[in-house]
Structure 1
Amino acid sequence: MAEDMSNEHSQDDSGLHAWMLAWYDHAVSVGFIRPPFLLNDVTAERLEGYFRVGLTPVEGAEAFFGVAH
């Protein structure tokens, strides 16, 4: 059982890592950010939240950098 949970956790971490890379690539490609971009803990938690609720990396970038109403 513990092995199953650890495997789930590592797959989730892999998915989050891939999502963040795609988010970064999109954010750079549309000019939201320029390299190097330093990710702090607060930003990482916010992006992880976007990932957890099911936003795509493009949607996450739009939400992160978009104008608040």
Structure 2
Amino acid sequence: MKAGEYVIDTRDGRVGQVMGHEGPCVQLRPPGGGREWDCPPDAMRPAPPGEVLRARVRALNRDARLP
């Protein structure tokens, strides 16, 4: 996967944007921003556009509720 692409971490179903590679793992970041996490390349699959859109809407809704 290339930097900027969206994938699904098949271990827990989270959608993440590929930020880079560190050793054997790929760093992913949630679509609305936030803390990166490491994911092994064999635990990723391309995210369909609908999944990316849902993740972005969830992030926007979450941010709108913050004081």
Whichever structure has more strand as a proportion of its residues is 2
Whichever structure has more helix as a proportion of its residues is 1
TM-score greater than 0.5 by the shorter chain:
no
Of structures 1 and 2, the larger Rg is shown by 1
Where relative contact order (Cα < 8 A, 6+ residues apart) is larger, the structure is: 1
Task: Name the TM-score, length of structure 1 as normaliser.
Answer: 0.31
Task: Name the TM-score, length of structure 2 as normaliser.
Answer: 0.32
